[in-house]
Amino acid sequence: MKVLTAHQMKEIDRLTSERFLISPEILMERAGLSVVLALQSELKDLSKKSFLVLCGHGNNGGDGLVVARILHQYTDEVVTVVVGDKTKMSSETLANFKRLKAIGGIIKFLNEDLSLDELVQMVKNYDVVIDALLGIGIKGSVQGILAQVIDVVNLYARYVVSVDLPSGLDTDTGKVLGKAIKADLTVTFGLPKLCHILFPGRELTGILKVADIGIPKILLNADEIKRNIVTKDLVLSSLPKRIKDSHKGSYGKVLVIAGSKNYPGAAVLTSIAAYRVGSGYVQLVTCKPADEIALVREPSLIVRGFEQEFFTPSCLPTVFEVAKNSKVVVLGPGLTQSDQTREFVLQLLKELDLPMIIDADGLNNIAENLDVLFQRKGPTLLTPHFGEFARLVKLPIEAVKYNYSLVEEFSKKYGVITLLKGATTIISNGESTYFNLMGNTSLAKAGSGDVLAGMIGGLAAQGLDLLSAAFCGAYLHGLAAEMYNLKEGTMLTSELLDLIPKAMEEVCKVG
């Protein structure tokens, strides 16, 4: 499913009207109706509820005025409060103001007909607050009376439904512009916006419903919209097919270069994960004692263990030898950082032309030598978490968190694919970007990234390009965590490995 910026949505709005002759007024009517239908499906009998509809003077407020009018069909317990200036309403919003008045709807203007204290009482007393204060037209920080109203709603409302997006969110980043509504339910139109999937906006959105308001499909499916949410259907259509008449070589050989005396477990987790997603042959090159641990844990691994404590350039000839019959390389988990390991990693990146997934200390070891990426001869995927990405781009962590534009620019500049791990994971090759929403806090645990890197390697070995392997891996990894049926956070990373088959089965289930 595609996901939009405010600018893209406005452009779609313009084309809907100009090219397809569907006026903003029609869209506004359908937007309002879709909110009421969503309310009905969540709350069932609307006649038994009371509604307080808060409207700004922009078109988001116009949608709210439609919502109020339609709610009057179900109950008389509807009051609309405008927090704004009637003279600033667009023609469509004003028309809906008049329609609501015409059916006898009660409309009050805050600070004229109603004080803030009176509004506090109403917010406390009504069952549902509809937030139609600000939508995609928000500019700058929310201050003054509007900020006070948002505080009141967040403090006292029992159930909040946001129209299009929680008021106060930056549509394109999901950041709070001063103050933002915390919604239980958000109904958006046509397609999700970035604020619904990026934190903190994702949290403030509550349940998200995407309503069809009659925007022509050709506009919503346009190839120029390059940002997507990873869905089950996308993963299913991208996964490798299993053929009856096949052998281990049919499913690709993965070479995992990982582990050190300090971190032997990382190498084991990565290697087994590659098998779990269906790869036919996994070779692990590592340092002692990971080789022995790996074989005890999974005897089907093909293991080469160096006597030394960490990788050095002296390991290169062996690695190149093993790489000869590999299809993809996963480099990095548990390597540790040292001058010699850095030299080993840089040489490998320059000389090995296989597709490569670089994770963890693989990334930390190139942070001061990013230009090495220009010398790569094969496709490259980097899988940093926020801290690692911050190190790569030399910015504070706060500046890189959920910063999809930065991920896109970085990927384009260095000719790589980047997967930025987070509660929403961002994957981009600089042209197309994918957002994975699957997963939960069980993944916030040592070793979870090692498993992801192995899964991506295993999928790439089976023929997926690195971008598809990355978004499929991220989705399956998240889904596996969601399938753990005991208390969230108590899962061991080794148990995550054992949930991968369940996640793969779930994706392949019809319906």
Binding site for K ion (CB under 5 A): 131, 162-163, 167
Q: Write the CB contacts of 385 (distance below 8 Å, at least 6 apart in sequence).
A: 420, 421, 422, 449
Q: Is 193 annotated as a binding residue?
A: no
136 in a known ligand binding site: yes
With CB cut-offs between 5 and 8 Å by kind, which of K ion, ligand NPW, none does residue 408 bind? none
Q: Which two tokens stand for residue 376?
A: 């790569």
CB of 63 to ligand NPW, least distance (A): 5
Which of ligand NPW, K ion, none does residue 138 bind to, with CB < 5 to 8 Å depending on kind?
ligand NPW
- 9 interacts with ligand NPW by CB under 6 A: yes
Phi and psi torsions of 185, nearest 5°:
-140, 140
- Looking at the Cβ atoms of 186 and 493, the one nearer to ligand NPW is 186
Of 4, 13, 284, 407, the residue at the interface with ligand NPW (CB under 6 A) is 13
Q: What is the DSSP string of 328-363?
A: EEEE-TT----HHHHHHHHHHHHH--S-EEE-THHH
Our finding on whether 28 is near ligand NPW (CB under 6 A) is yes
Q: Which is nearer to ligand NPW, 66 or 272 (CB)?
A: 66
- Asked if residue 163 binds ligand NPW (CB under 6 A), the reply is yes
Please, which residue, 4 or 287, has the CB nearer to K ion? Answer: 4
Q: Binding residue per annotation — 422?
A: yes
Q: At what angle do helices 448-461 and 466-482 cross, to 10 degrees?
A: 130
Which residue's CB is nearer to ligand NPW, number 134 or number 480?
A: 134
Among positions 2, 5, 10, 346, the unique one binding ligand NPW when judged by CB under 6 A: 10
> How many residues appear in the chain?
511
Place of tokens 């569907």: 22
58 near ligand NPW (CB under 6 A): yes
> Cβ 403 to ligand NPW, closest distance in Å?
22
Using alpha carbons, list the distances in angstroms from residue 54 to 108, 155, 161, 243, 281: 10, 15, 10, 58, 60
438 binds ligand NPW (CB under 6 A): no
Q: Which is nearer to ligand NPW, 174 or 430 (CB)?
A: 174
Q: Is 136 in the site for ligand NPW (CB under 6 A)?
A: yes
Residue from 137, 214, 422, 463 touching ligand NPW (CB under 6 A): that is 137
153 in contact with ligand NPW (CB under 6 A): no
- Can you tell me the distance from the alpha carbon of 418 to that of 425, in angstroms, rounded to the nearest whole number? 10
Residues 6+ apart with CB under 8 A from 105: 68, 69, 72, 78, 80
- Number of Cβ within 10 Å of residue 441's Cβ equals 11
Asked whether position 274 contacts ligand NPW by CB under 6 A, the answer is no
Q: Is the separation of the CB atoms in 97 and 89 below 8 Å?
A: yes
CA distance 14 to 23: 9
Please indicate if the annotation marks 131 as binding a ligand: yes
Residue 299: contacted member of K ion, ligand NPW, none (CB under 5 to 8 Å, by partner type): none
Of residues 60-79, those binding ligand NPW (CB under 6 A): 60-63
The partner in contact with residue 142, picked from ligand NPW, K ion, none with C-beta cut-offs of 5 to 8 angstroms by kind, is: ligand NPW
Q: Which is nearer to ligand NPW, 171 or 442 (CB)?
A: 171
| DSSP E strand stretches across 253-392 | 253-257, 281-287, 302-306, 328-331, 356-358, 380-382
> What would the DSSP string read from start to end of 18-84?
HTT---HHHHHHHHHHHHHHHHHHHHS-GGG--EEEEE-SSHHHHHHHHHHHHHTTT-S-EEEEE-S
User: Do 302 and 279 contact (CB within 8 A), yes or no?
Assistant: no
Whole-Å CA distances, 76 to 39, 59, 71: 16, 24, 8
415 annotated ligand binder? no
Residue 139 engages ligand NPW in binding (rule: CB under 6 A): yes
Where do we find the tokens 């259907």? 233
- In the complex, minimum distance from the CB of residue 162 to K ion, in angstroms, rounded to a whole number: 5
Residue 412 near which of ligand NPW, K ion, none (CB within 5-8 Å, type-dependent): none
Query: Would you say 282 and 328 are in contact if contact means Cβ atoms under 8 Å apart?
Result: no
With binding defined as CB under 6 A, does residue 175 bind ligand NPW? Answer: no
CB of 450 to ligand NPW, least distance (A): 42
Is the CB of 131 or the CB of 450 nearer to K ion?
131
State yes or no: 164 annotated in a binding site.
yes
> Judged by CB under 6 A, does residue 408 bind ligand NPW?
no
Report yes or no: 55 and 83 within 8 Å, Cβ to Cβ. yes
Nearer to K ion, 210 or 222 (CB): 210
- Residue 164 touching ligand NPW (CB under 6 A): yes
Q: Considering the complex, what minimum distance in angstroms separates the CB of residue 222 from ligand NPW?
A: 14
Residue 450 marked as a ligand binder: yes
Q: How many CA atoms lie within 13 A of 375 on its CB side?
A: 13
Query: What is the rounded radius of gyration, in angstroms, for the C-alpha atoms of the chain?
Result: 26
Question: 286 labelled as ligand-binding?
Answer: no
Element (H, E) at 186: strand 185-189
Binding residue per annotation — 180? no
Tokens for 214? Answer: 């009659």
Q: How far is the CB of 205 from ligand NPW (least distance, A)?
A: 13
Give the CB-side neighbour count of residue 387, counting CA atoms within 13 A: 5
Q: Residue 60 CB, nearest distance to ligand NPW (Å)?
A: 3
Q: How far is CA 416 from CA 371, 419, 430, 469, 484, in A?
A: 12, 10, 8, 14, 33
| Binding-site residue ranges | 59-63, 131, 135-141, 164, 167, 266, 334, 385, 421-425, 449-450
By CB under 6 A, name the binding residues for ligand NPW.
Answer: 9-10, 13, 27-28, 31, 56-63, 88, 134-142, 146, 163-164, 189
| Binding-site residue ranges for AMP | 421-425, 449
